[in-house]
Amino acid sequence: MSKKRPPEKAYKNLEFLNSRDARTIRILSEYLEPLSRLSKFKVNNTVLFLGSARAKPDGNHDLMTKYYWEAEELAFRLAKWAIKLRARGKNFVICTGGGPGIMEAANRGASRADGKSIGMNISLPQEQFPNPYISQELSFIFHYFFMRKFWLVYMAKAVVAFPGGFGTLDEVFETLTLVQTGKIARNQIPIILYGEEYWKNTINFESLLEHMTISEEDMKLIYYASTPLDAFHILKNSLSIRL
């Protein structure tokens, strides 16, 4: 009689772990593994950069190319400033969604400053690969959008949103809603919309105010900036009091 193989332990059973029944384990893993790794590398908090994945450093769309290099410059200035801070662990680490475009530009700027940066990528049907400027030990890939969005915002002490499409708009409005509803304290996370002309043409906040669907106080949640230096000064002034 041939010897039977012992049954697989549950935590090694890939068929089970990839099944519908194990979904809660997979979700929990996408919470605990980043928590463990960010703690291991002493990341205290982040500055989140949002923006279009379609911006290219040498593309034909001059305006989006301009935004690419301005995101790179802002991330460079911010990372260079943050590196010099005297604190335990790493503060105001540049964090992006890990993909190309504005995300790549921000990771690239941090890399130019010799700073660490985070990339929180997502698996998509059209494969999106992590850009080459993310610090290898801080490169993440998520399956669940909501877990990725949790980690993008959870450690952020500021958000800078460059021009972007549906994904950028989704993340901007979700962050604004979290602050508006008090899930994040209003004085804890400045939200900078970079490229004032783009944002004012894209979203008519004044119309929302006119129709009383938001309040005057809600308008104070947003800062506008149109140069890397202006955005850097807003961030530096805001973040300095959070050390």
In a domain, residue 163? The reply is yes
26 belongs to a structural domain: no
Residue environment code for 22-42, b if the CB has 16+ CB neighbours within 10 A, otherwise e: beeeeeeebeeebeeebeeee
CA distances from 172 to 7, 38, 89, 163, 193 (A): 48, 23, 28, 11, 9
Q: Assess contact for 123 and 104: CB atoms under 8 A.
A: no
Inside any domain, residue 10: no
- Which tokens hold the place of 72? 């790179």
What's the pLDDT band for 128 if we cut at 50, 70, 90? confident
Domain that holds residue 166: 42-240
Residue 78: predicted pLDDT: 98
Helix (H/G/I), strand (E/B), else coil: 231: helix
Segment 194-219 mean pLDDT: 95
Whether residue 18 is contained in a domain is answered as: no
CB 82 within 8 A of CB 92: yes
Mean pLDDT over the full length of the chain: 93
Q: Is 194 among the domain residues?
A: yes
Rounded to two decimals, the pTM is 0.93
Range with top average pLDDT, 3-7, 60-64, 103-107: 103-107
With CA atoms as reference, report the closest residue to 90 among 52, 53, 44, 46. 44
Q: CATH no. for residue 133?
A: 3.40.50.450
- Retrieve residue 154's tokens: 């959870």
56-80 pLDDT per residue, tens: 999 776 899 999 999 999 999 999 9
Whole-number Cα distances in Å, 61 to 94, 115, 175, 226: 25, 29, 28, 18
Reduce the secondary structure of 164-214 to three states and give it as a string. Answer: CCHHHHHHHHHHHHHHHCCCCCCCCCCEEEECHHHHHHHCCHHHHHHCCCC
DSSP string, 89-118: SB-SEEEE-SSSTHHHHHHHHHHHTT--EE
Residue 188, domain member (yes or no): yes
Indicate whether 144 belongs to any domain: yes
In a domain, 122, yes or no: yes
The mean pLDDT of 187-213, rounded to a whole number, is: 95
- pLDDT confidence bin for 13, thresholds 50/70/90: confident
What pLDDT score was predicted for residue 188? 83
Q: How many domains does the chain have?
A: 1
